[in-house]
Structures are given as structure tokens and as C-alpha cells.
Copies of this chain bind each other. A is one copy, B any other.
């Protein structure tokens, strides 16, 4: 890894064109050739960058000409860094990183709701999770207290797409005289207002789920 503190301007020309006026910045060149241009703020995202695989060509300063780096990738995108002043330029070998270990993934939510259908109504019974249809599985298929079928679409964050998806399932399921009528429920931790509006316009019930509470109920249930 090479770290350069330099006054530079940056131009990217690829999927869009972007320009950075001259300023003091941190340039990171990683072992795979990728280049990151960071300022002293913002967030983890660089001001500009080139992802690997790519190639860095360095044109040293010569006379009045400032130094220039050009980074290109296979798609022909280019990042051009014009360096007018170099404050520092150091390299270090970090070796290969063992990598990140993540915990706490959430396909879990569906499992929890299947166990806690009473959150939707007393007397609701599970038919099955991942109920198969020709256009894909319905997340949860169940019956309400009157025995009528209900298809549940689950999302962590429900947008318009979730409503469209559930609508397609309902349209198909309701063609089957053995199932019809099938009601729809959209269940998610958050539901965008537009999605809610569209869903309710189509007679689909919206339910906001409290993941922590649902997890808590399970904890108590398994503890005693």
C-alpha cells in the first residue's frame, strides 16, 4: 500500500464525468492497483476512485509539467490525477488481510413471523413458508381465523416493488378456485409511504414489524 499526501486535481471519465479542483488530498494506491482519493471529511466513500482490476501509469513531473497519474480499467474508464505538490509519499507492505466476520443476518424475520402469526390476528394458522407458485415462492401462506387464505410478503424495507410482487402473487393465487379468495398482507420493518398508499389502494393490508420485540418474545419462549 502506498500513501501519498499531495495537492492534486482529479478527473474521472467513465460512466459519468466528474472533476475535482486542486486541493490537498490523500491518495491511496492498494496492492491490487486500485486508487482512492480521500479528503478530510465526508465518510468512508472516497471523493473519487478506480476499482480493481485496473492499471496505474505514473508520469513524473518534468520541467513545468506537473506529475500525472492515469488509472484505467478494462472498460476504458479513466481516472486522471494531476499532482502539483507532493507532501509525502510512503509505502508499506500490509500483507493479506484475514477478512471480516459478520454476525446477525436477517432471513430470520420470516422465521419469527411464522412462529408469531398471532401478531396478525388471533386464530391465524400457518400453511407453509416459501409456498411455491409458478412465479416464485410466497413468503408465508396461512389462513385467518375464518379459514380464508392469506399470502404474506415479507421485506425488511418495503417499497413499491414489494407491493407489485405481492400483487402478482395474489392475482395468480386468486385464479385457483381452491384457494380463492386470497387476501394479501405486506409485512416489513419499515414500509415506504408510497408503498403503503399503493398497497391500501389495492386492498393489501400493511403491517409494520418490530424485530427486537419479536426476537424478545422468542428469547422468553426459549428461556422458560
Contacts and interface: CB of A to CB of B under 8 A. Distances in A.
Contact of A104 (B16, B26, B41): B16
Contact of A164 (B32, B102, B164, B194): B164
- Most chain B C-beta atoms within 10 Å of own C-beta, residue among A16, A18, A94, A99: A94
B3 A3 contact: yes
Contact of A87 (B87, B92, B102, B197): B92
- Most chain B C-beta atoms within 10 Å of own C-beta, residue among A23, A88, A97, A104: A97
Given A97-B47, A135-B194, A30 B41 contact: yes
Interface stretch (A48-56, A70-78, A117-125): A48-56
B20 A3 contact: no
B194 A98 contact: no
Nearest to A21: B98
A128 interface: no
Contacts of A46: 44
Nearest to A26: B1
A134 interface: yes
A94 B23 contact: yes
Contacts of A44: 34, 36, 45-46, 49, 51
Interface of A: 1, 3, 5, 16-21, 23-26, 28, 30-32, 34, 36, 38-49, 51-52, 87-88, 90, 92-105, 134-136, 160, 164-165, 168, 194, 197-198
17 contacts: A1-B26, A19-B100, A19-B103, A20-B98, A23-B94, A23-B97, A28-B38, A39-B97, A40-B94, A40-B96, A41-B52, A41-B97, A43-B49, A43-B52, A44-B46, A45-B45, A134-B197
